[in-house]
Chains A and B, each alone.
Chain A
Amino acid sequence: MATTLAEPEVTTSNHPEAVVVRFAGDSGDGMQLTGGQFTLSSALAGNDFATFPDFPAEIRAPQGTLFGVSAFQINFGSTDIETAGDAPDVLVAMNPAALKTNVDALKPGGLIIADTGEFTKRNLEKAKYEVSPIDDGSLAKWQVLAFDISALTMESVKPYGLGNKEALRCKNMWTLGLALWMFDREREPLIDWLKAKFVKLPVLADANIAALNAGHAYGETAELGGQLHKVHVDPAAAKAGLYRTITGAESVALGLVAGAQLAGLEMFFGGYPITPASSILHSLVRLKEFGVTTFQAEDEIAAIGAAIGASYAGKLGVTSSSGPGIALKTEAMGLAVMTELPLVIVNSQRGGPSTGHPTKTEQSDLYQAIYGRNGDTPIPVVAACSPSDAFDCAIEACRIATQYMTPVILLTDGYIANAAEPWLVPDPASYAPFPVTFLTERNGPDGTLLPYARDEKGARPWIKPGTPGLTHRIGGIEKNPGTGNLDYSPAAHQTMTDARKAKVDGIANSIPAQTVALGETSGKLAVVGWGSSFGPIHQAVRRARAKGMDVSHIHVRHVWPLPANLGDLLRGYERILVPEMNTGQFKTVLRDQFLVDAQPLNKTSGQPFAIAEIEAAIASYFDGAPGNAGGDEVPPNAKQLPSIKAANP
């Protein structure tokens, strides 16, 4: 996000650093497609960007309804963009319902582009408008550019003889054409893309191209009363190299493939369809040539069971799901801990308990990841902070799983899975390989086999069935510390529980020391985050620092075990603020692990944090800062535990 001012800034200049545009329409209007293609054009224009697709849980909600609105927001600019933007500068509303559900997010003075062709009596009723908001003055604080996009589209595609319905489907391309004109973008890549997409139906390609061109021409020639003007956003300064756009789901899939290669293993992926995790399976089924075997199982339990079976047989077992599915996999995760087999479990978190908020984002499965199993069942947890970071995190998960013979949980979320960002394509050779070895000879004294002997890291040997002379049995029952044979003795359970815990705790020795993402290693306030809230936290801290506040940003990737130096680092700050899209889970982990007075900042609306929300929370710690003008100490939140100082006078 480019704006360095705390107050929302309206883009009135025609040369801004960053612009936020939201396309909103009916689920059938092709808004995700429009957004995706606009994103590509932003990439080609050299802008940095971040996107936020926001769509309903229903596949085809009834047309024109409030709950059927699908939106796509993009923030693009000439400086570092780390969030999809707080408030849009421009809202494209394809119908009354899209206007109603999105207009409140628009910056004061922002621009609304509305298709009056859809503002019919019936559609207004469906959107619960008594009178058209375009006529009743209720949109006065914004600029409104309302015209009949539907009719203009129909007109532009007339020569192609399409039916009414098909002709109207070209509306999104007309709108995209207008947006391309508005932001000074090339049409050629889009035209090429349309030609490729409709290679078998050239008439549709021609009609869509005609609509795109017509929208563009409309911006060029129409008398729009100065409301609409051409805006040019400069390319962002970026590290030199080859870039591509990537979503979190693609990035996880590629990272897993890379991780398996670095381990020298083939991968077996067991999955069961669930939003928003299915796209990882969709990506991996197309990568079979990289030694990937995929299995769509009958349920979540079978998916992880098959993955563990494959790991037992010597492949890298991977499974992926979202919270409810992870809950079903829990018993099998315990077996993977007990049998000490490598396994990567990806959780693309979504909102709420039960079915909850399936297409929205949240970070509320942290407790589930760290603690959510029966027995003492430690599992390391790595959390990605962005679509591109998910690549490295997936590799890290593969490394830990294979080097420590343990299941590993990789946390992403619905926002990371669906959002796209530019990715500086890495060179695979720049990652250090971590080849695995399988036991081929008996490893105990006097020619005995000890499947549960441990190396210096506490990891047991990996023994592939099929290896002559090494037949042995493993299972979920407590076992003898060396032979792995059934052993219910008190000493065996104590020893094995301790060994499993020590092994996972020891992973802290193989991960990088915690660093400060922005700011100093001590000071007045540390804002500590994990996962996809990285972007808004980082920008909020940057803005606060620009205003002179002594605040630093700490981003934790290894949420279990925590980096060895994290406790000491946190104790160097007077106050600790932990913004999370949950009710305070990481805050509790930090308090528990380090006895520090971490304070929560929570949001569970299914939407990512706005930068301004975190900025306001930061400001409240600083006398005289906007948001804390009174200069008083922040009153403790009654719902939270008292501070350490207050509790220990």
Chain B
Amino acid sequence: MNEMTTIPVPTTLKDWESDQEVRWCPGCGDYAILKAVQRTLPELGADPAKTVFVSGIGCSSRFPYYIESYGFHTIHGRAPAFATGIKLANPELDVWIVTGDGDGLSIGGNHTMHLLRRNLNCQVLLFNNEIYGLTKGQYSPTSRVGTTSPTTPLGSVDRPASPAAFALGAGGRFIARGFDVSKNLPEVLKAAHAHKGAAFVEIFQNCIVYNKDVFEEFAAPKGAEDRQLWLKNGEPMLFGNAKTGDTKGIALDVEKLTLTVVDVVDGDWQAAGVIVHDVTNRSIAHMLVEMPFGPFPMALGVLYDDPRPTYDEAVLAQDETARAGKSTDLAKLLAKGQTWTVDAADQGPLSNV
């Protein structure tokens, strides 16, 4: 997000709908993410004229066409590079990058890494559907081992990347997770926008054609309370059903230096040693992004949020310092260095070094 966007512009969800026909498959999780973004932008007071959505290639990357703002659909994996140029050229623009697991972690993994370590002030929404959709269903760098696809008929054998762990490892200062149909997604997006610097949001997205319901185990509404850990800063990491008294929490196993699931008896989470979420604790963040779903619930919400100075500010501040008090006379610049004059009369050299 951007400090300069101080005057909120009143808009409604409708104002953020472009006149373009949305071309995702019926039932695609992208529709829900689009609506969540369009619902969030008015709440942020965002100005369509100062908002730019930048994307690479893939199903997710069609996103900018459907938002009534400025939009740039670029080339495969390279959206972070374009976004960097846009932000450095005009830091007043509020830049959103929309990418996918193939676009952002496979062909464009390098750019994602460098955008995060530089800490460009922008939002990165990585739609993770664990499959290549637009090219018709090949396995992706986040596909689980054993995924069968046109290129892995016997099941994939390579281990998947974890987007959130990758982003944190690359130096990201804001890491969050959500999923397409979650009612909490706008809150996650708002937190991302409020973070000054590169805000990385992994959004689990259901590809109903090539990888249907692959996140159902934690995303399904039924039993969600047992399988989703929604993290809130300053609050204990609790999940499970409080009404039935079946509350659980995440604690630190001090012996093994790992997280562990503990039962909370009579609501006494302190006694159970449940951790209070501190979004600035990088060590816990490393544990949360690596926390395996199954033995643990899926960690969702803001996992980590600890801002640092941004790349664009640093570049522009350095430019400003370098420019201060310097002449911008091009004629003087051209005549700089070791020069000499040739006299019209004698054609001889008159050194003036």
User: Which residues of A pack against B, CB within 8 Å?
Assistant: 40, 43-46, 189, 192, 235, 237-245, 254, 257-258, 261, 266, 268, 270, 287-291, 293, 295, 297-299, 301-315, 317, 331-332, 334-335, 339, 425-429, 464-477, 485-486
How far, in whole Å, are A629 and B61 apart by their CA atoms in the complex? 69
What 10 A-B pairs have minimum CB-CB distances, sorted nearest first? A309-B85, A475-B73, A305-B81, A46-B349, A306-B85, A240-B344, A473-B71, A313-B89, A289-B326, A465-B70
**Interface contact A306-B349, CB-CB below 8 Å:** no
**Interface contact A238-B347, CB-CB below 8 Å:** yes
> Could you list 12 further interchain pairs (A-B, Cβ under 8 angstroms) beyond the known A311-B89, A331-B75, A473-B72?
A46-B340, A46-B348, A235-B348, A240-B343, A244-B336, A290-B330, A291-B328, A295-B85, A302-B80, A470-B49, A471-B68, A477-B73
**With A425-B334, A427-B331 in contact, do A298 and B114 touch (Cβ < 8 Å)?**
yes
**Interface contact B111-A44, CB-CB below 8 Å:** no
**Interface contact A298-B110, CB-CB below 8 Å:** yes
A241 touches which of B50, B113, B341 (Cβ 8 Å): B341
What are the residues of chain B within 8 A of A299 when measuring CB–CB? 110
A289 touches which of B315, B322, B337 (Cβ 8 Å): B322
**With A235-B349, A464-B90, A473-B70 in contact, do A309 and B335 touch (Cβ < 8 Å)?**
no
> Which residue of chain A has the shortest Cβ distance to B91 in the bound complex?
A313
> Which residue of chain A has the shortest Cβ distance to B341 in the bound complex?
A242
What are the residues of chain B within 8 A of A334 when measuring CB–CB? 75
How far, in whole Å, are A474 and B69 apart by their CA atoms in the complex? 11
What are the residues of chain A within 8 A of B70 when measuring CB–CB? 465-466, 471-473
**Interface contact B334-A428, CB-CB below 8 Å:** yes
**Interface contact B339-A268, CB-CB below 8 Å:** no
**Interface contact A473-B334, CB-CB below 8 Å:** no
What is the distance, in angstroms, from A218's C-beta to the closest C-beta of chain B? 25
**Interface contact B49-A257, CB-CB below 8 Å:** no
How far, in whole Å, are A277 and B341 apart by their CA atoms in the complex? 30
How far, in whole Å, are A299 and B89 apart by their CA atoms in the complex? 19
Interface size on B, residues (CB 8 A): 64
**Interface contact B86-A465, CB-CB below 8 Å:** yes
**Interface contact B72-A290, CB-CB below 8 Å:** no
**Interface contact A310-B89, CB-CB below 8 Å:** yes
The listed residue with most B CB atoms (<10 A of its CB), out of A239, A302, A467, is: A302
> Which residue of chain B has the shortest Cβ distance to A304 in the bound complex?
B81
User: B271 within 8 Å of A by Cβ?
Assistant: no
User: B132 within 8 Å of A by Cβ?
Assistant: no
**Interface contact A305-B65, CB-CB below 8 Å:** no
**Interface contact A290-B351, CB-CB below 8 Å:** no
**Could you give, for residues 9-23 of chain B, a 1 whenever the CB lies within 8 Å of some chain A CB and a 0 otherwise?**
000000000101000
**With A257-B330, A293-B88 in contact, do A44 and B349 touch (Cβ < 8 Å)?**
yes
What are the residues of chain B within 8 A of A297 when measuring CB–CB? 81, 84, 114
What are the residues of chain B within 8 A of A289 when measuring CB–CB? 322-323, 326-328
What are the residues of chain A within 8 A of B339 when measuring CB–CB? 242-244, 425
> Which residue of chain B has the shortest Cβ distance to A189 in the bound complex?
B353
How far, in whole Å, are A254 and B333 apart by their CA atoms in the complex? 8
User: B296 within 8 Å of A by Cβ?
Assistant: no
**Interface contact A471-B69, CB-CB below 8 Å:** yes
What is the distance, in angstroms, from B319's C-beta to the closest C-beta of chain A? 5
A466 touches which of B50, B78, B342 (Cβ 8 Å): B50
What are the residues of chain B within 8 A of A43 when measuring CB–CB? 338, 340, 349
What is the distance, in angstroms, from A480's C-beta to the closest C-beta of chain B? 11
What is the distance, in angstroms, from B67's C-beta to the closest C-beta of chain A? 8
What is the distance, in angstroms, from A453's C-beta to the closest C-beta of chain B? 18
**With A314-B89, A425-B334, A473-B71 in contact, do A302 and B84 touch (Cβ < 8 Å)?**
yes
What is the distance, in angstroms, from B83's C-beta to the closest C-beta of chain A? 6
What is the distance, in angstroms, from A325's C-beta to the closest C-beta of chain B? 14
**With A189-B351, A302-B81, A477-B73 in contact, do A268 and B65 touch (Cβ < 8 Å)?**
no
**With A293-B319, A469-B49 in contact, do A238 and B342 touch (Cβ < 8 Å)?**
yes
**Interface contact A302-B111, CB-CB below 8 Å:** yes
User: B215 within 8 Å of A by Cβ?
Assistant: no
How far, in whole Å, are A90 and B169 apart by their CA atoms in the complex? 59
What is the distance, in angstroms, from A46's C-beta to the closest C-beta of chain B? 3
